[in-house]
Amino acid sequence: MNARVGILALQGAIEEHSRLLRALGASVTPVRRPEQLTGLSGLVIPGGESTAIARLAASTGLLPAVRERVDTGLAVLGTCAGLILLADHVLDADALAGFDRVGGLDVTVRRNGYGGQLESFEADADISVDGTPGDRMRAAFIRAPIIEAVGPGVATIVRHNGQPVAVQQGRLVAATFHPEITGENRLHRRFLDLAAQRAADAAA
């Protein structure tokens, strides 16, 4: 659990993730430019506003730089806007047109799938892959995207009302909700395990 990880620190729930990861023993550095990815085994892309993050990242080419590292085994945890930036296919994405995203996660997501801020809610979601059957995860959905389709290589980790709300593909873990604000750390622990694998690969 001592992997060096980064948090994409342009906009969004940066502090909440950093605090949680530090509490789990990780060393966390903010990432705002491509060169700050050097030496990191994992990266959190926080929730916030995907259009704002994509615009702020555009001048330095940060998101394509993240993608290059994803393709060589970087672990990534993307929440909400972070999921949108990781998804290969985004619906209702006019505001993102012309801006680089990261991609690499074979899912289709719909931005603001539940509606706007007034349709934000907290719920207990099911954990269906690891965790004992009937295990629950408290999840906060804030202008959340909906995962409309998952590709064959993507595992659903958490469901809400039968629909996928957190998924994993290789070392990419992504959720439509904000686990960092409900005292939930299981997705972060999973992410740090994947980052530790990446660190072990790099050392081999």
Binding site for ligand GLN (CB under 6 A): 47-50, 80-81, 84, 111-112, 142-143
What's the closest the beta carbon of residue 173 comes to ligand GLN, in angstroms? Answer: 15
Minimum distance, C-beta of residue 147 to ligand GLN, in the bound complex (Å): 13
| Joined tokens for residue 92 | 């209702």
Which of 50/169 has CB closer to ligand GLN? Answer: 50
Catalytic residue among 17, 160, 178, 188, which? 178
Query: Is 89 annotated as catalytic?
Result: no
Pick the closest to residue 14 from 84, 80, 99 (CA basis).
Answer: 80
In whole angstroms, how close is the CB of 88 to ligand GLN at the nearest point?
16
**Cα–Cα nearest to 78, from 182, 68, 88:** 88
Listed residue (201, 158, 197) closest to 76, CA to CA: 197
Dist CA 76 CA 41 (whole Å)? 9
Give CA separation, 105 vs 9, 42, 86, 124, in Å.
21, 15, 6, 25
Q: How far is CA 164 from the centre of its chain?
A: 14
Residue of 181, 186, 7 lying closest to 82 (CA atoms):
7
Which of 80, 160, 184, 188 is catalytic? The answer is 80
Closer Cβ to ligand GLN, 9 or 142, answer by number: 142
Task: State the nearest-atom distance from the C-beta of 111 to ligand GLN, in Å.
Answer: 4
Beta strands in 55-135, from DSSP E residues, in sequence order = 75-79, 87-91, 105-110, 121-127
Quick check: is 68 catalytic?
Answer: no
Decide whether 143 or 190 has the Cβ nearer to ligand GLN.
143
Catalytic residue among 17, 160, 180, 184: 180
Residue among 3 and 76 whose Cβ is closer to ligand GLN? 76
Give catalytic residues, as residue numbers: 80, 178, 180
